[in-house]
């Protein structure tokens, strides 16, 4: 399980240091692709294969084709270099507007990679009680 929030910077060549805690869980190679809300998603190779297996059994309709184009066609296998960095492809950097300050957010089964300003907007929680009530509506309590 991935959890926690870590701040890093991406260099001009698109290289990004993976936080040591996440590197331990990810291993030396994993998959990065487009994520929701303008971020990127990082999956372990095992979790990525599980995702693909679920996609393979879906009917070949427009929704599936759009999902495959957006998430699978843009996916890139990456390997960690000796300095603990990965190279983020330009198209993915553009999708997530990664320019300098970056936030890694562990979100259970994957890691989200955010432009810091976008992360601050997306994670701005004004009323934790409201979120607790919404969780309760889903059958979860905190």
Longest dimension (CA), the chain: 46
Q: Is 29 helix (H, G, I), strand (E, B) or coil?
A: strand
Q: Are 75 and 33 in contact (CB under 8 A)?
A: yes
pLDDT digits (tens, 9 = 90+) for 45-59: 999 999 999 999 999
Q: Please, what are the domains in the chain?
A: 2-116 (3.40.1550.20)
Q: Is the pLDDT of residue 114 over 80?
A: yes
Q: Give burial (CB, 10 Å; 0-12/13-18/19+) of 108.
A: exposed
Instruction: Show the tokens assigned to 16.
Output: 């990004």
Q: Is the pLDDT of residue 90 over 90?
A: yes
**Quick one: pLDDT at residue 140?**
80
- Report the C-alpha gap between 101 and 140 in whole angstroms: 34
The single-letter DSSP state of residue 10 is B
pTM exceeds 0.75 for this model: yes
Mean pLDDT (the chain) is 93
Q: Is the pLDDT of residue 130 over 80?
A: no
Find all residues with CB under 8 Å of 44, minimum gap 6, and list them.
Answer: 25, 26, 27, 30, 31
pLDDT digits (tens, 9 = 90+) for 27-38: 999 999 999 999
Instruction: Show the tokens assigned to 46.
Output: 């095992």
The whole-number average pLDDT for the span 116-131 is 83
Share of residues in the chain with pLDDT > 70 (%): 99
């Amino acid at each position: 399980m991935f959890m926690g929030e870590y701040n890093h910077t991406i260099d001009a060549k698109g290289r990004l240091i993976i936080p040591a805690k996440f590197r331990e869980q990810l291993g030396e190679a994993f998959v990065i692709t487009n994520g929701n809300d303008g971020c990127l998603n990082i999956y372990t190779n095992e979790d990525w294969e599980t995702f693909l297996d679920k996609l393979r059994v879906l009917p070949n309709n427009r929704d599936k084709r759009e999902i495959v184009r957006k998430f699978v066609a843009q996916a890139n296998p990456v390997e960690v270099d000796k300095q603990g960095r990965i190279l983020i492809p330009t198209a993915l950097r553009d999708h997530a507007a990664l320019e300098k300050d970056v936030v890694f957010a562990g979100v259970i089964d994957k890691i989200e990679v955010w432009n810091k300003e976008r992360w601050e907007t997306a994670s701005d929680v004004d009323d934790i009680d409201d979120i607790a009530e919404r969780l309760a509506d889903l059958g979860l309590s905190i």
